[in-house]
Structure 1
Amino acid sequence: MIRSSSREMIERLVGFDTVSAKSNLALIDFVQDYLESQGARCRRIVNAEGTKANLLASLGPDQPGGVVLSGHSDVVPVDGQPWDTDPFTVVEKDGRLYGRGTADMKSFLAIALGLVPEIAAQPLAKPIHLAFSYDEEVGCTGVASLIDTVSRQLPDPALVIVGEPTSMQIVNGHKGCFLFETEITGQAAHSSLPQLGANAIMAAGKIIAHIAGLAAEKRAAADPENPFDPPYTTFNMGEINGGKAINIVAQDCRFTWEFRPVPGEDTDAIIAEVERFAMAEVLPELQEFAPHASIEIRRPATVLPLAPEKDGAAESLVRRLTGANDSAVVSFGTEGGLFQAAGLSTVVFGPGSIDQAHQANEFIALEQVAACEAFLLKLCDWARS
């Protein structure tokens, strides 16, 4: 059995359609009103457009040494997925709660919210902070202002727990994700007279082939002792669009790509090498017959890797409260690396399985909800001491 407060909060949060392309303000309004009614001190950090917001809430004394429980409020789209039920209405079946965000990752936030009345009633010696971010699913682009607020306005927390779905297993490391858009502008011409134009698709192909070469180099140099799967930095081409017709030299081409570095990778060197090749070897060929030709490489989002911390405060506390002896690393990214980069000891630990994320009929097992409840109650006891 799980607490009725957990079930009710999971239903409420899943009921807000916070797909990343939409506003999350209705959810934030609800959560802030609820938390302030329980005596929490809330800080809302709104984006420049006023359409989305992070929320940081604090319970207990205004002093250093507390814990930040962090999660993202947005979810991925459901369009085109064969759901058996309304994805924004929680349905219980066979010991599972189905709905978009049940695993990734509204349940963690909901369970914490359900326990707030008990937490607020305790004589806490250390503060507990709840952090709700936006736009995690589109490259962790919203959390930066939240982390800045934590760093600048809170007494230094001792640690951060990011409640992504890890099946309540300790994750102390993950890969990063560097996202790029490359846009090439050449010159259109009749395909029988290619010397009068500059083919953007051919230029894109050369850059893509160079990136594929970098990927092969990383794979060949993989350290078999590296715990990640796969044990090296990976690359991917996600989209490509260009050209108008078979008999026209392509004037435009755009492609998106990413690389996912293992902790410790020299990411600046990878970026510099791609930019060097594009600007020094591909662009001059484009500009031979089209001086105005251009190549633009943009980085819309960066998810920093999370590196295992030797004797880190976050992992040590979760180990102590759970009795766990093992930890793991994962290849998917979280906001954890950004918290760590800000100097905060961070671990990823939460209910549900990543295997259920981003697909139709997403669910969380009730036993995972119960396990998270038990952990957070132990955390509350820790905060009292």
Structure 2
Amino acid sequence: MTTPHTRNWLQTLVAFDTTSRNSNLHLIEHVRDALAAHGVPVQLFKSPDGAKSNLFATLPAQDGGTQGGIVLSGHTDVVPVDGQQWDTDPFALTERDGRLYGRGTCDMKGFIAAGLALVPEFLAMPRRKPLHFALSYDEEVGCIGAPVMLEQLKLQGQRFDGCIVGEPTSMQPVVAHKGINVWRCKVHGKAAHSSLTPSGSNAIEYAARLICRIRDLAEAFKAQGPYDPFFDVPYTTMTTNRISGGIAVNTIPEHCEFAYEFRNLPGMVPDDIQAQVEAYVQQELLPRMRREFAEARIEFESLAGAPSFDSADTEAINVLVQALTGDREKRKVAYATEAGLFQQAGIPSVVCGPGAITEAHKANEYVELAQLARCEQFLRKLAQSL
């Protein structure tokens, strides 16, 4: 049975509209004040412009120690509700048929709420090791916030035994995920009246050639691998998802811009994949364009990225989480989380949280009360194990 404290915390968190385009400071400051009321030390690590912030809090061990222990990691931002048809107010928690509806209930304020609700219980436990909260900003737009926090913790000399990233996994441990890499490409040709085609250089058509090349690379990964059968999509994927260009039907377009992403299996180097895209541009596409227009150019810009994550079966954090959940199945997922960033920082990690990823980002997003109850039970066992 979910405690009223978790439901109350989730109601509070959902009411803060922390869509990534907005500031999360009101939520962060509310959590800071609530933890401070319990005597919990809190640090805020703000974004460069000061508009957003990470929060890091430590519940010390019984002897006052703050080194080691487990980090509970969650992101505070949510995806937009623009254009979605909701049956309820997305920023007002609504209970119906054993479910709690609202933006972020599943991804991933439910996990944060369960952890915060149990703080008084955690503090009353005679723990030998500390327990930490790491709340980040801008995960949904490229895992931008967490690196700021991790760098500061590294400078402070902080050490941790492990990290649990509470993304929605239906409370089933996930030991690996793909990396995500998002790129923008800008193609610059030469405008001309469409009746004088030879005097122009068509940016859209050359962009189309490059998009087809990206699709060819994707087909090669699908046909030739490498593969990992534990993933739902067992190979690296590439896809172009946005494009714009041109000003009129009778004008050769001077500019075309598109965005593409690839999700690489652990062990594959993202720079090597991007290098194949850029090699095609340098060796084939640009020479063709410049025969038409000497000043033609193609530019690439990295928009976002998160590293892949792959945890060994023997990692202590994996063994612990499997024991606490009673679930020893090996799971790997195609979506990305902040676990790869924690792993890069030398912190062994696992992904495990309430809710189903299939409900994330959708209209009428929800988390089941039963999932939150399982999360509470898991977190109590975790704290007791410390």
TM-score, normalising length from structure 1?
0.96
C-alpha contact 2:58 2:66 (8 A) present in aligned 1: no
C-alpha contact 2:46 2:52 (8 A) present in aligned 1: yes
Say whether 1:13 aligns with 2:13. Answer: yes
In the aligned structure 2, how far is the partner of 1:234 from the partner of 1:114?
39
How far apart are 1:299 and its partner, in Å?
0.6
How far apart are 1:154 and its partner, in Å?
5.0
2:12 corresponds to which letter in structure 1? R
User: What's 1:249 paired with?
Assistant: 252
User: What's 2:273 paired with?
Assistant: 270
In the aligned structure 2, how far is the partner of 1:182 from the partner of 1:351?
37
User: What's 1:218 paired with?
Assistant: 221
Within the candidate set 330, 339, 345, 2:333 is matched to 330
2:203 corresponds to which letter in structure 1? A
C-alpha contact 1:62 1:155 (8 A) present in aligned 2: no
* Aligned pairs for 1:110-149 within 5 A: 110-149=113-152
How far apart are 1:166 and its partner, in Å?
0.3
Percent sequence identity over aligned pairs:
46
- Deviation string, structure 1 residues 35-81 (Cα, Å, up to 9, x no partner): 11111111111111111111111111334321110010000111111
How far apart are 1:246 and its partner, in Å?
2.1
Say whether 1:288 aligns with 2:295. Answer: no
C-alpha contact 2:313 2:319 (8 A) present in aligned 1: no
C-alpha contact 1:166 1:354 (8 A) present in aligned 2: yes
How far apart are 1:320 and its partner, in Å?
2.2
- Deviation string, structure 1 residues 137-163 (Cα, Å, up to 9, x no partner): 112122111121233325310001000
Equivalent pairs, count: 383
User: What's 2:78 paired with?
Assistant: 75
Say whether 1:231 aligns with 2:251. Answer: no
C-alpha contact 1:237 1:256 (8 A) present in aligned 2: yes
Q: What SS does the corresponding residue of 2:210 show, helix, strand or coil?
A: helix
In the aligned structure 1, how far is the partner of 2:311 from the partner of 2:265?
11
C-alpha contact 1:181 1:254 (8 A) present in aligned 2: yes
Say whether 1:37 aligns with 2:29. Answer: no
C-alpha contact 1:181 1:299 (8 A) present in aligned 2: yes
**119-128 or 48-57, which deviates more:** 119-128
How far apart are 1:327 and its partner, in Å?
2.8
C-alpha contact 1:38 1:117 (8 A) present in aligned 2: yes
C-alpha contact 1:39 1:120 (8 A) present in aligned 2: no
2:98 corresponds to which letter in structure 1? G
RMSD: 1.4
Gaps of 5+ in 2: none
Gaps of 5+ in 1: none
C-alpha contact 2:172 2:325 (8 A) present in aligned 1: no
TM-score, normalising length from structure 2?
0.96
How far apart are 1:225 and its partner, in Å?
5.4
User: What's 2:56 paired with?
Assistant: 56
User: What's 1:378 paired with?
Assistant: 381
1:19 corresponds to which letter in structure 2? T
In the aligned structure 1, how far is the partner of 2:277 from the partner of 2:131?
43
**35-44 or 106-115, which deviates more:** 35-44
Q: What SS does the corresponding residue of 1:302 show, helix, strand or coil?
A: strand
Within the candidate set 297, 301, 307, 2:310 is matched to 307
Say whether 1:95 aligns with 2:98. Answer: yes
**266-275 or 280-289, which deviates more:** 280-289
1:2 corresponds to which letter in structure 2? T
70 and 110 in structure 1: CA distance in 2 versus 1, 3 angstrom threshold = same
**283-292 or 10-19, which deviates more:** 283-292
